[in-house]
Amino acid sequence: MTTPRHPNFLASKLAQEMRLALVVLAVLALVPVAVSSPYWLGVLIVSMYFAMLSMGWNLLAGYTGQFSLAPAAFAMLGGYTTALLAWHWKVPLWIGLPMALVVPGLIGLVLGRIVLRLSGPYVALTTLSFAEIVRLVIYNSIDFTRGDQGLNVPALIDSRVGNYYLFVGALTVITVGVFLLLRAPTGRFLLAIRDDEIGAASRGIDVVRAKTVAFFISCAICGIAGGLYGTFAQLVSPELGLIAQTGIVIAMVVIGGMGTLVGPLIGAVLVYVASELLRDAGNVQMIVFALLVIVFARFFREGLWGLARQAIARRRSATRTAASGV
Amino acid sequence: MALLEIRAVAKRFGGLRAVDGVDVDVAEGELLGLIGPNGSGKTTLLNVLSGHMVADAGQVRLDGRSVLGLGPTALTRLGVLRMFQLTRVFNRVSAFDNLIVCGLALGLDQGRAEQRALDLLGELKLTHVMHLDGGQLSGGQKKLLEFGTCFMVPPRIALLDEPFAAVHPTMKETMATFIRRRSADGQTFILVSHDMPVVVELCPRAVCMNAGKVLADGPTQRVLNDAAVIEAYLGEDAQAAEAEHGRA
Amino acid sequence: MTGTPLLALDLFVNGLIIGLFYALMAVGLTMIFGILKIVNFAHGEFYMIGAYTYTLISLGLGVSPWLALPVAAASGALLGWATERWLMRPLYTGYGSWGLMKDEYAVVVTFGLSLLLINLVDKVVGPYPVRGPALSDVTRVALGPFMLSGQKLITAGVAIVLLIGLALFIKRSLWGRQVQAVAQNRLGASIAGIDTARATSIIFMASGVLAALAGALLAPIINPAPDVGIFPAVKSYVIVVIGGMGSIPGSIVAALALGVLESFGAVYLSYDYRDTFGLVLLILVLLFRPQGLFGERAREV
């Protein structure tokens, strides 16, 4: 038997999105060949930081239907995990960075358990409250965290290009990891839970386990992104966890395409690079993105990638009609 | 030993005894019709059997093992598959993937799940819409799809709650044929339906509930001719007529 | 004057006053939840817009702050109306056909609106805080044994009048009754001939007015800046959940309780962490009584 194919089958959809994601990553990897400006490499590094957060958030919000408003808070937690370990106990980065994955992941697991029985707006409200608590605690625990002064973090790699490839590598690992997760049965269970939690439980899906896994992985991704960002910027501050940062992540995912693998990637890079360009054109970037979020949420759920997919499908059917010929 | 033993099960909502001491045995391979007027407690009983509600009292055994208090996930994994009165499909994945996810959840591997999904789609005459998202299907197609998801792995017992309600006659026939065929192969069903001709035709045995109690249990034809059953249904008609009258 | 009981009483009264403002915010939020079952994540920006309108009208045109107050209310009403008309109405006129579910759409779109308003104000007015004019210059009024500033007293009075007015509006007026009907059963209400769209619109406008007035009244204390609405909004989320989503009396009680809790906590527990008490309370409530928030957790099938 051969596996049936259709662009709307999950397996085909995922494979197509993964191919495109690899193209985007390859293009990112080739950029330093053409661009040597440290400024623009820096812009792309930050955009890749946001791409990781977007991937993590999308796994929860786009694929599992759990509207967390805490991705930036988990990035902050990751950044501070590495920074505090290095600052207080001189823990080297090769231990400190993995901890930026583990600690936020575990905290996310606990948070996931708390919101397990909640639905819809309650998840958003609880995670938002959690995000604010964490930020306020870090902001106010001046003796331990130096408050809004922030903490210095040792650099992992000194050169700009080296850092650039560190981020390309990390983003690739995360993208492939999320792809593998989504391709596995767990990925489909997440989609089922997103569409109908009671229905999913009534078909034998372990909803608790699947949601917990999603929370752990999503928060771990945000955490390591924050950890890496800290070593790149050599500074972490409570500003990493501002609600506005979460707003940017949501904007990126909604514009790129929620609930798709490649959407967050495209969204993050385009939005961040465009925001640098718009900054020169009078600082209107956030206004434009906020408008785009509203327009996309209202009219094009699958974002830019959804629009592109429709265009591809239309062209395919057009060529097919042409080929079958009159 | 019966496959499913229901003993003195009771469930109340506040002062209302929705299920009030029900005893029913379902043997392996049986196709049992569960009938009764609206509000007689059929759906509540199914909710208890499928783990969506916890009974206040009584005992439920599946293959001799007590399953009362288990949740829907655990019961599904033991082979109690449920089709809902209000259709439940996964709206934003294709019909094909709707079936696959249910197979994977019960431990099939991807290849086996695809094979089963294709077979079921063919048998239920849904192949031509398999690429559409669950939410894009018509009401009847959704019912058929949800019906199909119960059979990705042959269940120990399938609980069908009004599968034929508001379904086009051709699709109804497809489903009835499916049920007949599986029943002949030894599949166990409980079928809740208001559609008496179908119940008479499909189910050799019927249980009629009224006000949370079992009114009659036996060969379908005899249950339908039971004086108490006729009384219960007529009572409903009389009430309906009265209500109609009152409104006019 | 420095005895402990008097300090406690002083803290209590101050807490109640803060609680009144929380109530103005939370009541609007809870009404929106009651009628649409969604959370408006741009609620803090209604407050921010109110504070700015009041301040800019009063300072820019040189008119009395008392005249700027109704203008601020009008700005809130307009914002509420526009939000409902263009962003929320699709929710109940067939969102089912879209890919996004109701909850997801509501979160994304109101969050987007919040971002939009913050950044618009940041661009148009500027990122720096503006000092809001006071309604009263009197710095100390003796009210029995308490010393309160004139501004605080006036604003508390206005807040009480507003809350009572709202209660009367909902309970007594025809529109208010229609709103109640729609909140209980949208379909039933529409069958009974109630214009559900108008009822929802009224709720958004009322909610906008309350939030904008809360912002205007507090403008001299908070000094409006583009992101000034985030914190009161977070507070009102906490209140609305603790008070039982959709319950107006519940949220008023919870608002007053949170105000008092924070007032005492800031002195007896920790000043730095005073803003986290409510958030911790929220998570505790959700941890131990999640079903209490939904009423009985029915498994609908």
Under the banding of pLDDT at 50, 70 and 90, the label for residue A2 is low
CA A173, A178, A180 angle in degrees (round to 5)? 95
**Is it the case that residue C95 has pLDDT exceeding 50?**
no
- Beta strands B65-66 and C146-148 are unpaired
**Is it the case that residue C132 has pLDDT exceeding 60?**
yes
DSSP character string of B155-216: -SEEEEESTTTT--HHHHHHHHHHHHHHHHTT-EEEEE-S-HHHHHHH-SEEEEEETTEEEE
Q: Which chains touch A (3 or more CB pairs under 8 A)?
A: B, C
From C112's Cα to the closest Cα of chain A, the distance in A is 5
Would you state the pLDDT for residue C294? 38
Top pLDDT among C230 and C4 is at C230
Nearest chain C alpha carbon to B46: C301
Q: Count of CB atoms within 10 A of residue A182's CB?
A: 20
Q: What's the CATH fold of domain B4-247? A: Rossmann fold (3.40.50)
- Which chain C residues contact residue A137 at CB under 8 A? 273, 276
Would you state the pLDDT for residue A177? 97
Q: Which of C280, B217, C61, C240 is nearest to A133 (CA)?
A: C280
d(CA A284, CA C232): 26
A67 in reach of chain C (CB within 8 A)? yes
CB A83 within 8 A of CB A68: no
From B24's Cα to the closest Cα of chain A, the distance in A is 23
Q: Which of A298, A299, A300, A310 to mutate to test the interface with C (most CBs of C within 10 A)?
A: A298
Q: Do C301 and B92 touch (CB under 8 A)?
A: no
The C-side interface with B (CB below 8 A) comprises 99, 299, 301
Report helix, strand or coil for A117. coil
From B47's Cα to the closest Cα of chain C, the distance in A is 8
Region B162-179: mean pLDDT is 92
d(CA C193, CA C205): 21
Q: Do C301 and B84 touch (CB under 8 A)?
A: yes
Under the banding of pLDDT at 50, 70 and 90, the label for residue C14 is confident
Please list the residues that pair with B192 across neighbouring strands: B34, B161
Residue C57 counted as domain residue: yes
- Which chain A residues contact residue B96 at CB under 8 A? 4, 6, 9
Q: How many domains does chain C have?
A: 1
CB B134 within 8 A of CB B85: no
Average pLDDT, chain C: 82
- Which chain B residues contact residue C301 at CB under 8 A? 43, 47, 52, 84-86
d(CA C120, CA C116): 6
Would you state the pLDDT for residue C105? 83
Nearest chain B alpha carbon to A3: B114
- Which chain C residues contact residue A63 at CB under 8 A? none
Would you state the pLDDT for residue C1? 42
Q: Give the CATH number of the domain where residue C166 resides.
A: 1.10.3470
Residue owning tokens 């987007």: C112
Q: Choose the closest CB to A204 out of B106, B115, B132.
A: B106
Round to the nearest angstrom and report the end-to-end CA distance of chain B: 54
Q: Choose the closest CB to C279 out of A129, A247, A254.
A: A129
- Which chain C residues contact residue B92 at CB under 8 A? 99
- Which chain B residues contact residue C295 at CB under 8 A? none
Q: Do C87 and A298 touch (CB under 8 A)?
A: yes
d(CA B34, CA B24): 11
- Which chain C residues contact residue B85 at CB under 8 A? 301
- Which chain A residues contact residue B101 at CB under 8 A? 185, 188-189, 191-192, 203, 205
- Which chain B residues contact residue A181 at CB under 8 A? none
DSSP character string of B68-105: TT--HHHHHHTTEEEE-SS----TTSBHHHHHHHHHHH
Q: Choose the closest CB to A192 out of B71, B81, B101.
A: B101
Q: Count of CB atoms within 10 A of residue C36's CB?
A: 22
Top pLDDT among C107 and B80 is at B80
Under the banding of pLDDT at 50, 70 and 90, the label for residue C96 is very low
Q: Do A1 and B100 touch (CB under 8 A)?
A: no
Please list the residues that pair with B12 across neighbouring strands: B17
A32 in reach of chain C (CB within 8 A)? no
Q: Which of C21, C40, C87, C33 is nearest to C263 (CA)?
A: C21
Would you state the pLDDT for residue A326? 45
d(CA A207, CA B72): 11
What H or E segment, with its residue span, contains residue A110?
helix A93-114
A310 in reach of chain C (CB within 8 A)? no
Q: Do B47 and C99 touch (CB under 8 A)?
A: no
- Which chain C residues contact residue A294 at CB under 8 A? 87, 109, 112-113, 116
Region B128-138: mean pLDDT is 91
Q: Do B43 and C301 touch (CB under 8 A)?
A: yes
In angstroms, how far is CA A208 from the centroid of its own chain?
A: 22
- Which chain A residues contact residue B118 at CB under 8 A? 1, 4
Would you state the pLDDT for residue B153? 94
In angstroms, how far is CA C119 from the centroid of its own chain?
A: 21
pLDDT digits (tens, 9 = 90+) for C177-211: 888 888 887 778 888 888 888 888 999 999 999 99
Residue C68 counted as domain residue: yes
ipTM: 0.88
Q: Do C280 and A287 touch (CB under 8 A)?
A: no
A101-115, C19-33, C281-295: least confident range: C281-295
From C169's Cα to the closest Cα of chain A, the distance in A is 27
Q: Do C299 and B86 touch (CB under 8 A)?
A: no
Q: Do A4 and B118 touch (CB under 8 A)?
A: yes
pLDDT digits (tens, 9 = 90+) for A13-25: 999 999 999 999 9
Percent of chain C at pLDDT exceeding 70? 86
A58-72, B120-134, C232-246: least confident range: C232-246
d(CA C181, CA A242): 39
Question: Would you state the structure tokens that stand for residue B1, as one six-digit string?
Answer: 């030993």
Residue C47 counted as domain residue: yes
The B-side interface with C (CB below 8 A) comprises 43, 47, 52-53, 84-86, 92
Domain with C221, as residue range(s), is 4-293
**Is it the case that residue C267 has pLDDT exceeding 90?**
no
In angstroms, how far is CA C17 from the centroid of its own chain?
A: 14
d(CA B108, CA B114): 9
Q: Which of C16, C68, C25 is nearest to C48 (CA)?
A: C25
Would you state the pLDDT for residue A183? 93
**Is it the case that residue B228 has pLDDT exceeding 80?**
yes
- CA-based radius of gyration for chain C: 20
From B87's Cα to the closest Cα of chain C, the distance in A is 9
| DSSP label at residue C276 | G
Region A188-197: mean pLDDT is 93
d(CA A291, CA A287): 6
Top pLDDT among A117 and A133 is at A133
From C17's Cα to the closest Cα of chain A, the distance in A is 23
Q: What are the angstrom distances between the C-alpha of C115 and each of A253, C41, C112, C206, C225? A: 15, 10, 5, 22, 14
**Is it the case that residue C55 has pLDDT exceeding 50?**
yes
pTM of the full structure = 0.89
Q: Choose the closest CB to C272 out of A117, A133, A140.
A: A140
In angstroms, how far is CA B235 from the centroid of its own chain?
A: 25
Report helix, strand or coil for C2. coil
- Beta strands B31-35 and B205-210 are parallel
Q: Do A198 and C301 touch (CB under 8 A)?
A: yes
d(CA A199, CA A289): 36
Would you state the pLDDT for residue C94? 56
Q: Do B92 and C99 touch (CB under 8 A)?
A: yes
Q: Do A290 and C33 touch (CB under 8 A)?
A: no
Nearest chain C alpha carbon to B50: C301
What H or E segment, with its residue span, contains residue A91?
none
Q: Do B84 and C299 touch (CB under 8 A)?
A: no
Q: Which chains touch C (3 or more CB pairs under 8 A)?
A: A, B
Would you state the pLDDT for residue A1? 54
From A4's Cα to the closest Cα of chain B, the distance in A is 8
In angstroms, how far is CA B202 from the centroid of its own chain?
A: 13
State the Cα torsion C99-C101-C107-C109 to the nearest 10°. 40
Q: Which of A63, A203, A207, A209 to mutate to test the interface with B (most CBs of B within 10 A)?
A: A203
Residue C301 counted as domain residue: no
